[in-house]
Amino acid sequence: MEDSFKLLEDRIHRAAERLKTLSAEGQALRAELAQAKSRAEKAEKALAAAAAREGTGAEEARKAEALARELTTLKREREEIRDRVEKLVGLLESL
């Protein structure tokens, strides 16, 4: 009987430690997501500004293309982070 309680106690301690780790990871991912959103918004604004100045030459077109690629990358990054956060939240809820 004593061994059963010890095993249960060990499992509870491991679950609590895992919960702390997952919570910290979730917070880090949320911060990373906020940063990616901020970068994406800046890229969108820069892209919009470049588009507003259309006809300013090949250099502006290259900048606009680079910003569009960065925006695409940032959106993909944001989605990946969102998926990771959702998985962590699901795991936390299952505990």
Tell me the torsion sign for CA atoms 43, 49, 54, 56. Answer: negative
22-33 tens-digit pLDDT: 888 888 888 988
Are 68 and 5 spatial neighbours (Cβ–Cβ below 8 Å)? no
Mean pLDDT value across the chain: 82
Query: In the chain, where are the structural domains located?
Result: 2-94
User: What's the pLDDT score for residue 40?
Assistant: 86
pLDDT at 73 over 60: yes
Q: What is the mean pLDDT of residues 29-54?
A: 83
pLDDT at 70 over 80: yes
